Structure 1
Amino acid sequence: MVNPGAVVIVVYFLLQLLIYGVGVLHLDGSVVEATKTRMAIGLFANAGVALYVLHTVQTVRQRSIVLGMLSIGLTFECVVGLLQSFTGIDLRFLFQPPGFVLNLEETGFTERNGAFRVVGTSHHAIEFAVLAAVAVPLTLHLARYATKPLYRQCAAVGCLIAVFAMPAGGSRAGVVALAAALLTYMFAFTLRQIANGILVGIGAGLVYVVAAPASAYALWLTVVKANEDGSVLSRLADYSTVARTFHDHPWFGLGLGGNPPTVYGFLDNEWLQSIVQGGIVGFAAMLVVVGGTVAGLTAGLRTARSSRERDQAYAIGAALVGIIASSFTFDLFTYQQATFVYFVLFGLMWSSWRRDAGRR
């Protein structure tokens, strides 16, 4: 039987490929054409990695291994961010393989409300905060169900590192992602465990306020005074341009990668981004992949045969929901690390379906 998750990815891929094909029918400037090519390459890579994971990972142990490797990478990113925040040490420049070059125009840190916004190993502080939020449910799951005590202890440490790293990005998107992930993952716990978790969270928050008061205060202002934030106001001003673009190109938009920031700014909303780039078809592609995520979580819970499998499904689903929630506050698929993590987790979510479908 065909895995429904694979169908979702193929449909999403074909819709995006159609948008790309319509976009290349008209030539734009060199920057836009290069952006179209990069987006097309990313589309093939993202769909490919999701299908590869979906079809090659077949057991709970294999999923745990992939989650473990993913958690190690995310924890390393959080460690880099914390070092940037508290010591000024930037490990990004210490791991450059031979033959590779630095292709970022800006490698420094930005500032918000008087505090530096760290980026870890990401391209931007927003992406860093979202990835740190995603690391929390994944490491928490491993802290509960890893096979060896040492692995569980290391995962617990990784979870604490991710909790402390997320605020250093100074991003509302990270807060939204973490809240959505925890609200999803909480259904895997009892009321007593949830109450204990809230107390631990409050304690961790107080420790962070004492250890990094400037970053904590900056994040607080970012959330409570969002309606006065210049970045938010500038994005809202761009929405009229989005409306005009949709009026002129309602079905296929400007094409995949056809909206340079010099004209539209950074919309910081993947749904609006999909409308500008793909019109109605692009918006439908987003609905397909998001609907597939929700269906995958439901299928994973239905096929779970143990508390470990059930918790694993909730943890993966929580991470995916967190990323989806952040798509309303930043242009998700423009940032390759967050996009890659999303499609890997999508493949993991649906990888359990084939195992049970084959036993029926």
Structure 2
Amino acid sequence: MTTAPAAERAHAPARRRAPRRGRLPRTRIDPVSIMSFFLIVLFVMPARYVVGPLGGAGSPSSMVAVLLLVWYLFSTLSPRWTPLRGRQPVRLVVVLFALAVLASYVAATTRPLSGDELNAADLGLVLVAGWAGIALVTADGVPDMDRLETLRHRIVLGASFPALIAMIQFFTGIEVTSYMALPGLVEKGASVLFEREGFFRPSGTATHPIELGVVLAAVLPLALHGAIYCRIPERRRRRWMMVVLIAGALPMSVSRSAILGLFVAMVVLLPTWRPEWRLRAILIFGAASIVMRVLIPGLIGTVVNLISVIGSDENSTTRTGDYDAVVQAVSQRPLFGQGFATYLPRVYRVIDNQYLMSALETGLFGLLALLVFLASGWMLARRARRAAADEETRHLAQCLAASAAVAVFGFGTFDAFSFPMITNLMFLLLGLTGALWRLQTTSAQGHG
């Protein structure tokens, strides 16, 4: 028999262990905060400063992007930390693009390669790994619409910085980014400002004025969305200031790609706006053009002239003259190309068209992967718009579609994959569009 004291001890409630002091509860790492750090590196640090031995793949933004992929892959190994949440078309797009690059790499090893070409091919794989990390972390990591809006705002805020730097460069002729290099980085590219028709052509923290102009044209729709739908007066003024900053710096790049990219974005947005919004936009555009003429005489005329002579000027004829050489090179290696990143301008020639460059380097398979990448941003944005239940979200989806349209056009005017800021941004916007699609379709199914 058990004695009374022994029975009491046997049935007494177990003592709770005192919680250990000094330990914080486990929380999920916020992907939006990680991407915000990436945006600082992407937009604030001048893109032409790189880690010397790595060349183009050694830009700080590209290195952070690779770490994003590593983090993403390790996160998927744990059910607790995995970012995977059901279907996500962006994953398939990224895998297709990566396979096209890998296939071109294998194809490149079947022909004699110079040391420079082999190094470029290796570093190209590093770049693609980073682009994949950017898109996947964003597409699968954004948890809800509030955090998606936070990331959208921070993209606009980040793009406002090179716009501000570009204005300083345009008006002063001082290359201020020469004073922004971090210790240990080396300069890749010229440190002097380009000029055209008597105007300085600023590049901000980008590597080239064309890159800056297309970046600003792609981000402007997102800036307009934030300003239009901001409900707090103090914040609304700041957001309209960012719109003015981005839109004002865009023509200062003196780039046809930038102006035509702006036109493409407006063609996508204006038909979906309310009539009073369209009227107001037209009036603001007219007033801004007059102010620009007064403050910067000759700039508007120069930009209009650059557009009017497309097809007949030396720049256009030089680009179209590339077609015969491209057709001949592609016919030799039609399926997988000569190897991603191996068509070196100093060895062959400059190709100011990413579609032609992709056909050369990754073949028809790689060109198809590029078209899928660009088209998927548009299609996912449009599907998210149809699934959205409120006007604000539908407008955001349309703005992302406008950004995708800018990329579709812009990739035909310069070899975009040779420029880190625009390429990283477009993979980021693809991820953002994928996140919006996921959140809206999941919500629609939940209410169905």
TM-score interval for Structure 1 and Structure 2 normalised by the shorter chain: over 0.9
Query: Does the 8 A contact of 1:115 with 1:214 survive in 2?
Result: no
- Choose between structure 1 and 2 for higher RCO, CA contacts under 8 A separated by at least 6 residues: 1
Aligned to 1:54: 139
Aligned to 1:149: 233
| Aligned counterpart for 1:223 among listed residues 303, 307, 310 | 307
SS of the residue corresponding to residue 113 of structure 2 reads coil
| Aligned counterpart for 1:297 among listed residues 381, 405, 417 | 381
Shift of 1:167: 1.1
The whole-number CA distance in structure 2 between the counterparts of 1:353 and 1:312 is 11
Whether 1:88 aligns to 2:173 is: yes
Comparing 253-262 with 349-358, greater Cα deviation is found at 349-358
The whole-number CA distance in structure 2 between the counterparts of 1:182 and 1:321 is 10
Shift of 1:194: 0.8
Aligned to 1:139: 223
| Aligned counterpart for 1:274 among listed residues 354, 358, 377 | 358
Q: Structure 2: which amino acid aligns with 1:340? A: N
Shift of 1:252: 1.2
Output the TM-score relative to the length of structure 2. 0.76
Whether 1:183 aligns to 2:261 is: no
Aligned to 1:40: 125
Q: Structure 1: which amino acid aligns with 2:392? A: R
Shift of 1:56: 0.8
Aligned to 1:20: 105
The whole-number CA distance in structure 1 between the counterparts of 2:268 and 2:339 is 34
Shift of 1:150: 2.5
- How do residues 225-304 of structure 1 correspond to structure 2 at under 5 angstroms? 225-304=309-388
Shift of 1:357: 4.3
Output the TM-score relative to the length of structure 1. 0.94
Percent identity of the aligned residues?
24
Shift of 1:57: 0.7
Shift of 1:308: 1.5
Aligned to 1:78: 163
Q: Structure 1: which amino acid aligns with 2:388? A: A
| Aligned counterpart for 2:189 among listed residues 105, 116, 120 | 105
Aligned to 1:333: 417
Shift of 1:197: 0.2
Whether 1:343 aligns to 2:415 is: no
Larger radius of gyration, structure 1 or 2?
2
The whole-number CA distance in structure 2 between the counterparts of 1:21 and 1:69 is 39
Whether 1:198 aligns to 2:247 is: no
Shift of 1:226: 2.4
The whole-number CA distance in structure 2 between the counterparts of 1:178 and 1:220 is 13
Query: Does the 8 A contact of 2:374 with 2:407 survive in 1?
Result: no
The whole-number CA distance in structure 1 between the counterparts of 2:189 and 2:224 is 36
After superposition, the Cα gap between the structure-2 partners of 1:52 and 1:260, relative to the gap in structure 1 and judged at 3 Å, is same
Shift of 1:228: 3.5
Shift of 1:263: 4.4
Query: Does the 8 A contact of 2:170 with 2:252 survive in 1?
Result: yes
| Aligned counterpart for 2:210 among listed residues 110, 120, 126 | 126
| Aligned counterpart for 1:207 among listed residues 291, 296, 300 | 291
Query: Does the 8 A contact of 1:172 with 1:223 survive in 2?
Result: yes
The whole-number CA distance in structure 2 between the counterparts of 1:338 and 1:141 is 20
Comparing 190-199 with 20-29, greater Cα deviation is found at 20-29
Shift of 1:356: 4.2
* Deviation digits for residues 50-83 of structure 1 (CA, Å, limit 9, x no counterpart): 0100011132211111111111111111111011
SS of the residue corresponding to residue 259 of structure 1 reads coil
The whole-number CA distance in structure 2 between the counterparts of 1:357 and 1:110 is 46
- Which of the pair is proportionally richer in helix? 1
Aligned to 2:96: 11
Shift of 1:264: 4.1
Shift of 1:280: 1.0
Query: Does the 8 A contact of 2:170 with 2:199 survive in 1?
Result: no
- How do residues 308-323 of structure 1 correspond to structure 2 at under 5 angstroms? 308-323=392-407
Q: Structure 1: which amino acid aligns with 2:222? A: L
Query: Does the 8 A contact of 2:173 with 2:200 survive in 1?
Result: no
Q: Structure 2: which amino acid aligns with 1:315? A: C
Q: Structure 2: which amino acid aligns with 1:4? A: P
Shift of 1:245: 0.4
